[in-house]
Homo-oligomer: A and B are copies of this chain.
Amino acid sequence: MKELFGSPGRVSGFGLRVGQFVFAAASIGVMVSARGFFNSTAFCYLIASMGLQVLWSFGLACLDLHSLRSKRNLQNPVLVSLFVVGDWVTSILSLAAACASGGVTVLYSRDLNYCKQPPYFPCSRFKISIVLAFISWSLLAISSHVMFWLLANV
């Protein structure tokens, strides 16, 4: 298998996983701190989806760290297939959650004007949380594409 930026068991791959984990956790933290987030199903789904991403990325970051320390090669077809499926499922769920929340936030702030009128939702917090979710998703998208490329080159 080729050695690409972001491959499993490389420093760049480990960095991507840590980035995904940190941004997803930050997104959850900001959303939970926003008053009234539970009024929208989309925001609850964003928290659930980012929670899944935190678990997945943390697990793979640990695996990458173990591989870096023990110099074990993680690039065998079975493991890469597993990473591809997991990455794609998490990636699609994260993008769906971020976009659904984005749609609701735009509705609140532009169409219903709920940010400057009662019930005065903290839209800026919603927006920060969604931007963090998008950053986390974009890092995951890089990992997913690298994994798919590796699998296609087996």
User: Which of B41, B107, B148 is in CB contact (< 8 Å) with A41?
Assistant: B107
Residues on A lying within 8 angstroms of B by beta carbon are: 39-42, 45, 92, 95-97, 99-104, 106-107, 110-111, 145, 148-149, 152-153
Query: Within the assembled complex, what's the spacing in Å between the Cα atoms of A149 and B145?
Result: 10
Binding site of A, secondary structure by majority: helix, strand, loop or mixed?
helix
Output the nearest chain B residue to A45 by Cβ-Cβ distance.
Answer: B103
Q: How far is the CB of A135 from chain B (nearest CB, A)?
A: 15
Q: How far is the CA of A55 from the CA of B152 in the complex (A)?
A: 29
Are A99 and B107 closer than 8 Å at their CB atoms?
no
A103-B101, A152-B148 known; A41 and B110 CB under 8 Å? yes
